[in-house]
Every structure is written in structure tokens, then in C-alpha cells.
Chain A
């Protein structure tokens, strides 16, 4: 069954704050093979002009994945996550995610389209500090494969 078009334009309440830890940044940098000391050593990060260690450019997925749970947990949307494939992903960084940040995420549904029996769900996760300073905009398309495919 196609997804309900009335969801376009909807946004969900902000997530509880996520506190970015130095060790979490190091762990993520190790996992994606990013060698830069700016992910590991606060002094090296400061030498580049950052207040503390910064996260790799795709780190925001940790937050945007978590916020997708609100869609999965919304019974009225009827999203079958087992049929979901990640179509595309864009991160726009207003500034680097930095250790010590307390980040909140607001998920927006920007579009729902159908193509060849699949639903395409355009999502935008606006990641800000608790005070509302913009940090990262994470845009993604989730492809919900049709029942027959």
C-alpha cells in the first residue's frame, strides 16, 4: 500500500540531546578508516582551529539513523522497514560536529513519491545544538520496495 501523502511536510518533535564523546568520534573514525589526528587528539584539532576533536564527515549518520526510528515507530505511516533501502545521502555541515556538542535532531518528511511500484521517502534531519545553533543538515532518500518486487 502506498505511503500516506499527507505525511509530506510533517516534522517530528526534537530528539533528546545526544552528547558527542571524544571516544565515540575516535571509534567512528577507526571504523571508516579516517587517519586524521583531528579525530583523536584535541591538540591536533586545535592546531587546525577547532575547539576539540571533530567528527568525520559522515558521523552524523549515527544521529540520522537513530531519528529514523520515529518513522518506524509511527503506526499510522505504516512503513515496513524490512523493505527499506537507503537510496542516497547528503550531509551539509554548517560547522563540524565537535566533541562535547549536545545535539538535538528534528526529522522532516520533505517528500513522498512513487516510482515503478516503489515509494521514495525524502527525509531531512536538521541537527542543531540544544540552543538551536545549526550544525548539520542530513538529507536522505529511503526507497521502500513494493510488495511485488
Chain B
């Protein structure tokens, strides 16, 4: 697990490439209890004006959070994590799925000694989570 003394403002976290497939959406629906049909039913998604089945925003948030938890080494180190949901991530009905690129950077040391980490997640070069950041308490 990384120690506070090893961290400086400006540090970049190891980037992640995430793949989201239809199978991931089904698994997340079951685990989270979010069975909104826009995340699994193409016909329904199009009827409500979406380009097709889209990923749960909370799934994208959860997946992207891994950049912080893996870097910190203890998922319990994340004392705060927040995002705004921007663009949806359409997930095609194939094995390739949608690729989301995640980056993270330490931007601040707060008064209580926690570190603020800004997170970006982009799909086809465009941000899908706005203002995403985590606050991390390190030993």
C-alpha cells in the first residue's frame, strides 16, 4: 500500500483501459439491483431516444474508481468519491464492447492530510464523467 510520504501533488496514477460489454451490464444490474431496461433492452432504449443500450452511469463510476483503489492499495483508503454523469457510454452487442480510458492525478493535499485525486474517464475521446474526484487517506 502506498504511503503518504511517497505521494506528491502532480503525481499521475497508472492509467487504465476498461472494456464494458453487454455481459458486464447484466452482471452489474444483478449486483446493484438497477434493472432499468435502458441498460439491457435495445428496443426499449431506442424507444426512449437513446442510441442503444447504454452502460449504467454507476457502473462507469465504479469501474473508474479502480484507478484510485489499486493505486492506494487499500480500497478503504477512499474516504470520498464523487462524479457528475456526462455523456452516456453506448455498449454495442458484440464481444469488443466499449473502451473507456481512465486517468488520475493527485491535485491537492487537503487540510486534514487527505489527498485529492482528479479522475477522468473518456469514451471515443470525450469525457463521460464530469468533475470526478476522490479523496484518499493514506498511512
Flag if A33 contacts B81 (CB, 8 Å). Answer: no
Give bound CA distance, A90 to B65, whole Å: 12
Flag if B32 contacts A57 (CB, 8 Å). Answer: no
Flag if A65 contacts B81 (CB, 8 Å). Answer: no
Binds A, one of B6-14, B55-63, B103-111: B55-63
List the A residue with the shortest CB-CB distance to B34: A65
Question: Mask for A27-42, Cβ within 8 A of B = 1, else 0?
Answer: 1101111111011000
Tell me the A15-34 residues at the B interface (CB within 8 Å).
24, 27-28, 30-34
Indicate whether B18 reaches chain A with its CB closer than 8 angstroms.
yes
List of B residues within 8 angstroms of A102 by Cβ: none
Flag if A54 contacts B75 (CB, 8 Å). Answer: yes
> How far is the CB of B27 from the nearest CB of chain A, in Å?
5
List of A residues within 8 angstroms of B57 by Cβ: 86, 89
Of A28, A48, A87, A96, the residue contacting B1 (CB under 8 A) is A48
Tell me the B56-102 residues at the A interface (CB within 8 Å).
57-59, 61-63, 65-66, 68-70, 74-76, 78-85
Of B63, B78, B130, the residue contacting A32 (CB under 8 A) is B63
Given A86-B85, A88-B83, A88-B84, A57–B31 Cβ distance below 8 Å? no
Interface SS of chain A: helix, strand, loop or mixed? mixed
Flag if B66 contacts A93 (CB, 8 Å). Answer: no
Indicate whether B123 reaches chain A with its CB closer than 8 angstroms.
no
Give bound CA distance, A58 to B34, whole Å: 13
Give bound CA distance, A91 to B68, whole Å: 14
List of A residues within 8 angstroms of B130 by Cβ: 88
Tell me the A78-100 residues at the B interface (CB within 8 Å).
85-93, 95-96
Given A65-B33, A65-B34, A93–B80 Cβ distance below 8 Å? yes
Of B18, B75, B134, the residue contacting A38 (CB under 8 A) is B75
List of B residues within 8 angstroms of A89 by Cβ: 57-58, 61, 82-83, 85
Give bound CA distance, A63 to B61, whole Å: 16
Give bound CA distance, A57 to B78, whole Å: 7
List of A residues within 8 angstroms of B30 by Cβ: 27, 31
Besides A34-B65, A57-B68, A88-B83, 19 other CB < 8 A contacts?
A: A30-B31, A31-B24, A31-B28, A31-B62, A32-B28, A32-B59, A32-B62, A34-B66, A36-B70, A56-B62, A62-B31, A86-B57, A87-B84, A88-B130, A89-B57, A89-B58, A89-B82, A90-B83, A95-B76
In the complex, 5 of the A-B residue pairs with CB atoms within 8 angstroms, ordered by the A residue number, are A31-B28, A35-B66, A56-B69, A58-B58, A85-B85
Please report A residues at the B interface, Cβ cutoff 8 Å: 24, 27-28, 30-36, 38-39, 48-50, 54, 56-58, 61-62, 65-66, 85-93, 95-96, 139
